[in-house]
Structure 1
């Protein structure tokens, strides 16, 4: 009992008694590291950059004639009210979207001087006597020497052409989105490398983490790869045979120098031969297994979880099933997030494509380069 009393008597009060004199506070109560004015300016900047409310949304699968709209601007005639609203809708998407996904095709590079594939002037129509598509079929290309030579000729031609061309205004616009941190990902079907030569659209080859801004769905003409050791090197047009004449310096399908070096070492060491691989342009062809397909699928699934608020499908007819599936999934996710889905092409997409995507807000017909003028 005594110990309890002593504990009670010696217990300190929760608050100091009124007779205790409080010491005056020394210095400013605010931490000198905090700068209220700076914080206030940052807050104002954040509020001013907030995404404004979308006041107009077209009916799904509405069509906007971009070329006609630009012609009316150049001729100083007033476009109709409906076209003005659609142009404003596109401008809103490009100006305020913060997690944009872009799926691009060959139409983006046409203005740079690189032919597309499926138009009347495209590679499929002009190469190999009008059967240019066969030059992108793995079984045809590597099952016949004459087709291999034609394939080499086409790859070398596209490589040299891409080196002479510069990125388009549309490429530059996407690079600006990436610089501002508003481009979640560019999934490009193009093998010309015009997009990836821009600083903020750079990629890594082979594809690896950390995931770059640009994912090349069909590879790149800028690189070649050994089919055995998987060594990736810059494309060398001088080692691929491109005509029927004799040339000891070139092979139809060149041998891999790294594999040959390994074989030399193994032979000196008395080890058995494991074979020498062959070099080929690092371009994905029809009827072959995509070496990075699973990884690209993983990237797309992760991007779907990041709440994309805008999908732009541009310069592609979506004839490749895998690419169409990527667009379908992103269109559904963007629509669920109350975002915007734009389809940009020179021709109207077929009904089965629209039925697959389901949630296209606006079909923009015309030269995609004109989109940059809306900004």
Structure 2
């Protein structure tokens, strides 16, 4: 089936879908100018940092506690990249579907907050959100627009303990509440499951697609490359996310 015919088929099913789960990775933010390579949310491609660590070590929970200045250095690099990014048509179309009346849940690996900026309300940010900061000791938390005015590593204004972004660093556990939210979404029975712009290398990202395939739920993958879930997708569109979702939206209209 060629791309146009695949888009027609997906749009036809999407028009009838009552509940849709979108699983998104760094590729959906590529048209917002964000990189898709290594690091938390994508940023770093060198073998070692200036300090001689892999980026996975620098952006890990143990490093944050032992040498917070190192972890915060690379978190700040990521934040500078994300700071001026704005939602692209992929984010907007997903939000438009919700406004159109479809029950949409977004399960995203991204920490850039762009799905929420676009207007999606049911967003499971499994890796957290970069601009949401909290104290490692007390209950202090805050949302910031940028890290530019922070003294790094920042100290809590209440108890002077270390403040960190509410993101999942390497070596840390996934948030239980968000995983339970995903399970509730699957239990509700989505009519379609989309995998968009993710390499699907982590089991918790691939398994919802595999589960949907086993349940006979329509699965769609939008990704220029091949991933572990590609053989389980009913429809594969090997193009970028923004152009593909815009093409689907035009068909729905």
> Do residues 104 (structure 1) and 24 (structure 2) align?
yes
CA distance in 1, matches of 2:5, 2:118: 32
Equivalent residue number for residue 235 of structure 2: 362
Equivalent residue number for residue 49 of structure 2: 128
CA distance in 2, matches of 1:83, 1:280: 44
Which stretches in structure 2 are left out of the alignment for 5+ residues? none
CA distance in 1, matches of 2:38, 2:86: 22
Instruction: Give the deviation of 1:83 after TM superposition.
Output: 4.2
Instruction: Give the deviation of 1:112 after TM superposition.
Output: 0.7
Higher relative contact order by CA 8 Å / sep ≥ 6: 1 or 2? Answer: 2
CA distance in 2, matches of 1:135, 1:331: 37
SS of the residue aligned with 1:103?
strand
CA distance in 2, matches of 1:111, 1:301: 30
Instruction: Give the deviation of 1:238 after TM superposition.
Output: 4.7
Q: TM-score if structure 1 supplies the norm length? A: 0.58
SS of the residue aligned with 1:369?
helix
Deviations 1:56-90 (A, max 9, x none): xxxxxxxxxxxxxxxxxxxxxxxxx7444323212
Instruction: Give the deviation of 1:159 after TM superposition.
Output: 2.6
Q: 1:330 to 1:227 in 2, by over 3 A?
A: farther
Greater mean alpha carbon deviation, residues 132-141 or residues 97-106: 132-141
SS of the residue aligned with 1:152?
helix
SS of the residue aligned with 1:215?
strand
Q: 1:92 to 1:369 in 2, by over 3 A?
A: same
1:347 counterpart (195, 213, 225): 225
Q: Is contact 1:224-1:233 (8 Å) kept? A: yes
Instruction: Give the deviation of 1:289 after TM superposition.
Output: 2.5
Deviations 1:218-263 (A, max 9, x none): 00111111112243212362565xxxxxxxxx343x3222235xxx
Relative to total residues, which structure has the larger strand share, 1 or 2? 2
Equivalent residue number for residue 237 of structure 1: 147
Deviations 1:178-204 (A, max 9, x none): 1123133101111011111123x14xx
Which stretches in structure 1 are left out of the alignment for 5+ residues? 1-80, 203-212, 241-249, 261-276
Instruction: Give the deviation of 1:141 after TM superposition.
Output: 4.0
Equivalent residue number for residue 226 of structure 1: 135
Matched length: 242
Deviations 1:289-335 (A, max 9, x none): 33x32x223222222232211000111112223223344334434x2
> Do residues 158 (structure 1) and 91 (structure 2) align?
no
Q: 1:142 to 1:116 in 2, by over 3 A?
A: farther
Equivalent residue number for residue 198 of structure 1: 118
Q: Is contact 1:162-1:194 (8 Å) kept? A: no
What is the root-mean-square deviation of aligned Cα atoms in Å?
2.6
SS of the residue aligned with 1:257?
coil
Q: Is contact 2:3-2:237 (8 Å) kept? A: no
Q: Is contact 1:99-1:308 (8 Å) kept? A: yes
CA distance in 2, matches of 1:176, 1:342: 18
CA distance in 1, matches of 2:113, 2:31: 14
Q: TM-score if structure 2 supplies the norm length? A: 0.83
Larger radius of gyration: 1
2:190 counterpart (308, 317, 336): 308
Q: Is contact 1:184-1:303 (8 Å) kept? A: no
CA distance in 1, matches of 2:212, 2:59: 27
